[in-house]
Amino acid sequence: MSTTIKQAIEALKARIAVAYTEVSAKGGTLPATQDSANLPSAIASIPSGGGGEVYYIGNLSFGAENGRVIDAENIISSSGSISDGSFSCDKAIYTEEILNLRGVFRSFTNGGSSVLKKLYFKDAELYGSFTYFRASNIEKFDFSGLRVISANVSFLQSGTYKSIISFIGDHTLQEVLNGDIVALSGISNSFSLAGSNADRASYLAIIKGLADMTGKKAQTFSIGATNLAKLTAEDIAIATNKNWNIA
Amino acid sequence: MTNELRPQRPSKPENWLHDSAQDYTRIFSKLVYLGKDAKPWAECTNEEKEAWESDHPQPEPEPEPQEPEGGEV
């Protein structure tokens, strides 16, 4: 009997070791002590975008492993926006702990030969970004890790972006309802996603992230009549109770 | 919570509601749910909407750099 238990323990240890190997391969963070107790947190550290892939754009590095860019404002100047001609990839961009980005994806145009499908952000703060963004074939944004610190955000202001079906990547409605995630947290000025065609979960995640404008001038989140119909009265009330108009 | 909703629609189906946002941006809508401290939106005819949009074209994006195809990634 004792031999069987010993064998079982050894097999379990081997599986734990394999699990840590997979965590590392997927861009997760390995603890100093790689035992079963630390395994859940190690798995949780695996970036949702898949990780491991690194893309370099100008002097900005993206990636789960070495994408740690701190205080990187002005890394992309007004004349150096990421645009269709300078950017093309067939995988997701995944960013982690990129702080204080300014002007990123300003005037970005995704169409024609570009096949960028997804944009992932984690723990990032942006301002002056995504102005005049135009995307003709991006399907998913994951803005659940994105904090907006600008008073002058005009996301997707004049874009064609009906291809976008999610602003929360692969996160679920249940996660939004549970309060596990919000998207674009902190926006405090009117903006429009009226040309998008995302699902309820995406718009609700954004509504939950809106700054509380109580006692200040009401701002408007415009999504258009078709998208407005996807929301429940309770969803809309979350915004109006924070003094946001929903149009 | 839901009974605090204040939907506003134009008095005529062909009219529009509008409110000014940042800079000289104006939002037009057929339906708006007003924030708890928000004042009702103004109303205009479709002709007035088109005239305003004609007088206030959307600002063009900044010129984009001309990069070679398949450039730096």
Beta-carbon separation of A214 and B1 below 8 A? no
Question: Residue A135 forms beta bridges with which residues?
Answer: A110
**Cβ(A134)–Cβ(A110) under 8 Å?**
yes
Question: Residue B32 forms beta bridges with which residues?
Answer: B8
Question: Residue B33 forms beta bridges with which residues?
Answer: A246, B7
Mean pLDDT of B33-52: 96
Q: Residue A131, Cβ neighbours under 10 Å: how many?
A: 23
Beta-carbon separation of A81 and B64 below 8 A? yes
Q: What is the DSSP letter of B64?
A: P
Beta-carbon separation of A78 and B62 below 8 A? yes
Beta-carbon separation of A213 and B33 below 8 A? no
The answer, for B11 touching chain A at a CB cutoff of 8 Å, is no
Beta-carbon separation of A85 and B66 below 8 A? yes
**Cβ(A128)–Cβ(A108) under 8 Å?**
no
Mutation to test the A interface, candidates B39, B64, B67, most A Cβ within 10 Å: B64
State the pTM of this model: 0.62
Question: Residue A124 forms beta bridges with which residues?
Answer: A146
Cα separation, A241 vs B26, in Å, equals: 23
What ipTM is given for this predicted complex? 0.80
The answer, for B22 touching chain A at a CB cutoff of 8 Å, is yes
| Sign of the CA dihedral with A161 first, then A146, A231, and B29 last | negative
pLDDT by position in tens, chain A (length 247): 556 888 878 878 887 887 787 777 666 778 888 888 888 787 777 655 443 333 333 333 333 333 333 333 333 333 333 443 333 333 344 444 444 444 455 545 544 443 444 555 555 555 555 555 555 555 666 666 555 544 444 554 444 556 677 888 778 999 999 998 888 777 888 888 887 888 999 999 999 999 999 999 999 999 989 999 999 999 999 999 999 999 9
**Cβ(A155)–Cβ(A141) under 8 Å?**
no
The Cα of A200 is separated from the nearest Cα of chain B by a number of Å equal to 17
